[in-house]
Amino acid sequence: MTDIAPADGESAATPDTEPPPPSAPENISVSLRGFDTEEHARTFGNLVATYVRALSRYIDMSALDGITIAADYAQALLELDRGYETNHKLTPSEGIALGVAMTPAVIRDGKVKSHILFNAGVLLPLEDDENEFFEQALHTLAHECAHVEVTERFNAAFPGILLQSKSPDLHTHCRWEIIKACWDEYAVTQICAPFGQRPTDGYEETFIAALEQTRPQANGCIKAYRLHGNLEQVIAEVYGAYGELMKFGCYHLGNLVGLGLTVDDVPKTAVALDGHWFAPFFDKLKQACENIAAQYGEWMDRGAFEALGDLADEIVADGGMTISNHRDDGTFHVDIPFTPQTMPEAW
């Protein structure tokens, strides 16, 4: 097995010191699904557990519940025991970026933990460190391990929130979905950046694609609303569209920070943002994430996180939807003014 340590001198250990001890549980539960033989599954499961234990010297894996590696990844997501009653079904991400791994929070014995699930195909290159996709597989593994740490830091600071509280209304729910996704990916990509393949080009390409597609997509949702009239649907769709753009921006920004780079080091991003409607919001997104990161694990309240929700509201308002006047009964006012960009062509 290849030795694992942060590259470019970023290891917590020096040549004269031992690396930190592993933080992962002594016995790492690895479930394998759809492998050709039981022996192959057992051997590969042990290999992945060994890599995870090595990564846990640099990433806090103390809240790891277990790992599932499945050929039938989508089915494995559906069948994961979350440890609480929920109607929400886990499904692979679709759209600009296709999901091949996920680390959802679960409840075990009353405690919030994280369970990592992988599409088996993305990890199998770990069997051969000469495989052209080995570094990509290692980085994917490190990325999901970092989710375990980031989730645990939030849960430790704000116990009783994750999986145990409900948003009072749809708007608040949409805000917090965006807040958690943006912060999680910013922090995770920063933590895992030194391990394995450098994903900078991929994150840049995905973010630029989202820059091009998001406003037309959100406008299309509003156009459809003019015909179907379902207010809850259009709120979820528009916040979802702009939230995805913010999230992809956070992948990109966190990775840059983790590698010690800036936007000046990714000229394609600078060109794409030049004159773009999202440019000023990108700067605010960067600042909001930096403010949260500056207090990492020591947050006294959720104010810094709420700044991401405020930014989401600002972006959605720029796109033609404003939400205001929250009431105690969970209702609020929604204004979606008629504009040429959000009118159905048939009108």
Query: What DSSP string describes 224-281?
Result: HHHHH--HHHHHHHHHHHHHHHHHHHHHHHHHHHHTT--GGG-HHHHHHHTT-TTHHH
Range 137-148 average pLDDT: 98
Query: pLDDT digits over 212-224, tens only?
Result: 999 999 999 999 9
How many other C-beta atoms are found inside a 10 Å radius of the C-beta of residue 99? 16
Range 34-56 average pLDDT: 97
* pLDDT attached to residue 229: 96
* pLDDT attached to residue 5: 62
Q: Is the pLDDT of residue 97 over 80?
A: no
Q: Is 110 left (phi over 0), alpha (psi -120 to 50) or beta?
A: left
- Report the distance separating Cα 218 and Cα 316, nearest Å: 9
Helix axis angle, 231-258 to 303-318, nearest 10°: 120
When pLDDT is cut at 50, 70 and 90, the band that residue 328 belongs to is: confident
Of 302, 339, 300, 303, residue with least CA distance to 321: 339
Q: Is the pLDDT of residue 10 over 80?
A: no
CA dist 147 → 64, 91, 102, 312 (Å): 10, 17, 9, 22
Query: pLDDT digits over 151-197, tens only?
Result: 999 999 999 999 999 999 999 999 999 999 999 999 999 999 999 99
Q: Where are the domains of the chain?
A: 30-157, 170-342
Structure token pair of residue 93: 């991400």
Q: Is the pLDDT of residue 69 over 80?
A: yes
CA dist 167 → 84, 223, 300, 305, 326 (Å): 17, 27, 20, 15, 13
How many other C-beta atoms are found inside a 10 Å radius of the C-beta of residue 344? 12
Q: How many CA atoms lie within 13 A of 263 on its CB side?
A: 16
- Report the distance separating Cα 22 and Cα 66, nearest Å: 15
* pLDDT attached to residue 11: 43
Fold classification of 30-157 is: Zincin-like (3.30.2010)
Q: Is the pLDDT of residue 9 over 60?
A: no
Range 109-119 average pLDDT: 97
* pLDDT attached to residue 346: 61
When pLDDT is cut at 50, 70 and 90, the band that residue 98 belongs to is: confident
Percent of the chain with pLDDT over 90: 88
Q: Could you tell me if 46 and 32 are in contact, meaning their C-beta atoms sit under 8 angstroms apart?
A: no
Q: Is the pLDDT of residue 12 over 70?
A: no
* pLDDT attached to residue 203: 98
Please identify which residue in the block is written with the tokens 């088996």: 120
Q: Count of residues for the chain?
A: 347
When pLDDT is cut at 50, 70 and 90, the band that residue 18 belongs to is: confident
User: By three-state DSSP, how is residue 165 classified?
Assistant: coil
Q: Which helix H or strand E contains 202, and what residues bound it?
A: helix 200-228
Q: pLDDT averaged over the chain?
A: 94
Q: Could you tell me if 212 and 175 are in contact, meaning their C-beta atoms sit under 8 angstroms apart?
A: no
Q: Is the pLDDT of residue 344 over 50?
A: yes
Query: pLDDT digits over 234-261, tens only?
Result: 999 999 999 999 999 999 999 999 999 9
- Report the distance separating Cα 334 and Cα 238, nearest Å: 12
Percent of the chain with pLDDT over 70: 95
